[in-house]
Amino acid sequence: MTIDAVGQVIYTRGQQPESQHDVHLAVMDARGRLLAHCGNPELVTFPRSSSKPVQALPLALAAPELPLDELAIACASHAGTPQHLAVVERLLARSGSSVADLRCGTHPPFDPETAADLIRRGEKPTPLHHNCSGKHAGMLLACTLMDWPREGYTEPDHPLQRRIRELHAELAGLALDEVRVGTDGCSVPAFALPLSGAARIFAGLAAPSGESAAGLERIFQAMRAHPFLIAGPERLDTTLMPLVPGLAAKMGAEAFYGLALRQTPHGPLGVAFKVIDGGERARAHIALALLEALGLPLTQELSALAPSTQFNWAGREVGRVQVRLPLIWA
């Protein structure tokens, strides 16, 4: 197929371009139709943590009365603050699990203040601080509720992971073998699929239908109700969702982004985009340019999330950030 012009985020120093991030993007409507794109909408890539709403779907369907904050933490890439950890611990307790049952590994909290506080107290991070601990706690509970073994819950052939792969295919409108399998940073399977398929998943989150509708609606409401739990202080999901009515957003590693937009001039939409070089600093710039292109007003608070002027450490203006989003409309 012919690849149309890619999106670009260009950083200049003075009048000279210094670096550039290329972006592929797909916009799907609630009927599963490609509404707009730039670059290659069929680019196969890993949504990484943008898959978490799908990974939490078996839990949402099996536990319809689960508190929304616990469902939100199952969808989260959290910052490891005490507020996040308290909800993860509550979710773990529901399945009779403990921190020792988590197979996500360990890394320092994303939140700098929490990480510094651990150092001051002479404590080391635990798997609870891993940004995916809520997802793993949710998977352990889903296994308990579905009468699946908790042992081996991260393996591709485990019943839970097989079901999650099936849900990716169903919601994306793909055959199962079109959903490719890798391993994520937290050891569960990572699923690769075309951008258009990922955008269709987020369109389904914006306008749920079919057998999974009740679970998708619960996940949408949980993300909207608890944006802090989805990410954390000064992180894009947490700051963006309260500023855009009807938006559920989920970032993924290596600069993937998924957005479920319930209120646009075009009706409910799903968006997925990938910054090819993994440059995460470009993500907010593309997200805001996309919202504007879809006819959503950019308030001053929104624009502040992606400033167009670059300053050095002395406060002097040294360059600009230019965004090009050449959308092709269907």
Q: pLDDT digits over 158-177, tens only?
A: 999 999 999 999 999 999 99
What is the length of the chain?
A: 330
Is residue 2, in this structure, part of any structural domain at all? no
Is residue 1, in this structure, part of any structural domain at all? no
The reported pLDDT for the residue numbered 2 is 58
Is residue 163, in this structure, part of any structural domain at all? yes
Q: Does position 195 have pLDDT exceeding 90, yes or no?
A: yes
Q: How far is it, in rounded angstroms, from Cα 251 to Cα 144?
A: 28
Is residue 200, in this structure, part of any structural domain at all? yes
Is residue 99, in this structure, part of any structural domain at all? yes
The reported pLDDT for the residue numbered 4 is 73
Q: What's the token pair of residue 317?
A: 């203006």
Q: Categorize the per-residue pLDDT at 301 as very low, low, confident or very high, splitting at 50, 70 and 90.
A: very high
For the stretch 255-269, pLDDT in tens is: 999 999 999 999 999
Is residue 298, in this structure, part of any structural domain at all? yes
Q: Nearest-CA neighbor of 189 among 170, 161, 166?
A: 161
The reported pLDDT for the residue numbered 121 is 96
Taking residues 206-235, report their average pLDDT: 97
Q: How far is it, in rounded angstroms, from Cα 118 to Cα 105?
A: 17
Taking residues 184-203, report their average pLDDT: 98
For the stretch 93-108, pLDDT in tens is: 999 999 999 999 999 9
Is residue 36, in this structure, part of any structural domain at all? yes
How many CA atoms lie within 13 Å of 190's alpha carbon, on the beta-carbon side? Answer: 19
Domain that holds residue 230: 7-329
Number of independent structural domains in the chain: 1
Q: Does position 178 have pLDDT exceeding 60, yes or no?
A: yes
Is residue 276, in this structure, part of any structural domain at all? yes
Q: Categorize the per-residue pLDDT at 194 as very low, low, confident or very high, splitting at 50, 70 and 90.
A: very high
pTM of the predicted model as reported, rounded to 2 decimal places = 0.96
Residue keyed to tokens 């997925």 = 272
For the stretch 28-83, pLDDT in tens is: 999 999 999 999 999 999 999 999 999 999 999 999 999 999 999 999 999 999 99
Q: Does position 1 have pLDDT exceeding 60, yes or no?
A: no
Task: For residue 92, give the CATH number of its domain.
Answer: 3.40.710
The reported pLDDT for the residue numbered 132 is 98
Taking residues 225-239, report their average pLDDT: 98
